């Protein structure tokens, strides 16, 4: 082959190869910047099937499936207050195809109580808050105090006579109780359970005076028929279903005015454009009337907002939990 022929051959080869390379480069950029999602997404729900949080996650998953054009497959991984589910998310590929639905407790509470299987600061990325679940302070038939103020007055007059049941040691209800103990300077006997089922059964049997629990369709009928009496609620504002029941902040105990905040999480390192898209799509879904109604029916409240605001909420609650745990020694109870 002459030098001239060789130059002609190279020119032809380059003319063919460069557009192909440019096409491949464009395809790669498209995958990196905008092709997500191109296959089904797994959402790990940190609680058992059938509960309020699971029902909300499934409804939200259906909305996201329609909006994104890909199936959102729900997988329940319950246990350890939500930490088992988020551990699985933390250890999944950071490609946008594994998400978690959980309360913020595994990030804001659990790390202050013991060693975690993942690093809540480095391995998980908050995407968007979804809802808050109010904490109800309820009197059982054993309770003789007609109001929250009367309850505290009885506790001061006869320390330890009021028994307060929570879902367990270092649960959110326990945090609320410890905050009240410190702020109101009263001694109330803590009765920790291992979950909510037996706790509610014993409440209906009058085995103790006070119950703290999250709002749910399981609890509300007992309030409506008078078996349980609402004394206060931990929430940013009063519930529409219980407009006469004040928040703990209104009663003068803002530090105890806690509710369970739930949201969507992703593995750390998930591409920013995926996180931004997810945040926008979840906010869009939360604005839909049927999602709003589903949450309202269970006395939970849609939140939404930016990922930065959600991360700040987690950081603020984590700092508050660390302080109350250290002050009260509750982890050692």
pLDDT in tens, 119-169: 999 999 999 999 999 999 999 999 999 899 999 999 999 999 999 999 888
* Closest by CA position to 173, among listed 68, 243, 256, 245: 256
Same domain, 191 and 55: no
Q: Is the pLDDT of residue 83 over 50?
A: yes
Domain count, the chain: 2
List the CATH number of the domain containing 152.
3.40.190.10
Inside any domain, residue 222: yes
pLDDT computed for residue 327 by the predictor = 86
Provide the percentage of residues in the chain whose pLDDT is more than 90.
Answer: 74
pLDDT in tens, 29-76: 444 445 899 999 999 999 888 888 899 999 999 999 999 999 999 999
Rounded alpha-carbon distances, angstroms, from residue 211 to 101, 190, 269: 26, 10, 41
3-state secondary structure of 114: coil
The pTM of this model reads 0.83
Burial status of residue 224 (CB atoms within 10 A of its CB: 0-12, 13-18, 19 or more): exposed
Which DSSP category does 137 fall into? E
Range of the domain at 211: 134-258
* Closest by CA position to 329, among listed 169, 183, 194: 169
Rounded to an integer, what is the distance from CA 51 to the centroid of its chain? 13
Same domain, 149 and 294: no
Q: Is the pLDDT of residue 16 over 70?
A: no
Provide the percentage of residues in the chain whose pLDDT is more than 70.
Answer: 89
pLDDT computed for residue 333 by the predictor = 45
Same domain, 127 and 98: yes
Q: How many other CB atoms sit within 10 Å of the CB of residue 157?
A: 9
Domain final position from 258, 276, 308: 258
> Phi then psi for 179, rounded to 5 degrees?
-60, -40
Inside any domain, residue 22: no
pLDDT in tens, 281-315: 999 999 999 999 989 888 999 999 999 999 999 99
* Closest by CA position to 271, among listed 93, 128, 43, 60: 93
Same domain, 109 and 77: yes
* Closest by CA position to 35, among listed 125, 96, 124, 126: 96
């Amino acid at each position: 082959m002459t030098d001239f022929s060789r130059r002609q051959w190279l020119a032809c080869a380059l003319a063919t190869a460069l557009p192909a390379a440019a096409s491949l480069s464009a395809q790669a950029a498209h995958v990196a910047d905008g092709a997500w999602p191109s296959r089904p997404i797994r959402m790990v729900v940190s609680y058992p099937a059938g509960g309020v949080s699971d029902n909300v996650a499934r409804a939200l998953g259906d909305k996201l499936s329609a909006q994104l054009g890909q199936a959102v497959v729900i997988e329940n991984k319950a246990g350890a207050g939500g930490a088992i589910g988020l551990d699985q998310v933390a250890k999944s590929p950071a490609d946008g195809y594994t998400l978690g639905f959980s309360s913020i407790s595994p990030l804001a509470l659990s790390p202050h109580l013991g060693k975690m299987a993942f690093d809540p600061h480095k391995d998980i990325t908050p995407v968007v808050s979804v809802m808050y679940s109010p904490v109800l302070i309820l009197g059982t038939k054993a309770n003789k105090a007609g109001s929250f103020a009367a309850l505290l007055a009885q506790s001061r007059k006869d320390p330890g006579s009021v028994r307060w049941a929570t879902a367990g040691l270092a649960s959110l209800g326990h945090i609320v109780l410890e905050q009240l103990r410190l702020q109101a300077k009263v001694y109330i006997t803590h009765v920790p359970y291992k979950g909510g089922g037996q706790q509610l059964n014993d409440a209906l049997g009058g085995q103790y005076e006070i119950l703290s629990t999250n709002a749910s369709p399981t609890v509300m009928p007992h309030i409506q028929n008078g078996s349980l009496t609402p004394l206060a609620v931990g929430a940013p504002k009063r519930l529409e279903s219980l407009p006469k029941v004040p928040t703990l902040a209104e009663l003068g105990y803002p530090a105890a005015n806690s509710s369970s905040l739930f949201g969507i999480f992703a593995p750390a390192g998930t591409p920013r454009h995926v996180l931004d898209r997810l945040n926008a799509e979840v906010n869009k879904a939360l604005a839909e009337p049927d999602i709003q109604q589903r949450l309202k029916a269970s006395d939970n409240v849609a939140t939404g907002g930016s990922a930065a605001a959600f991360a700040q909420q987690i950081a603020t609650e984590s700092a508050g939990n660390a302080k109350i745990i250290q002050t009260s020694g509750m982890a050692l109870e």
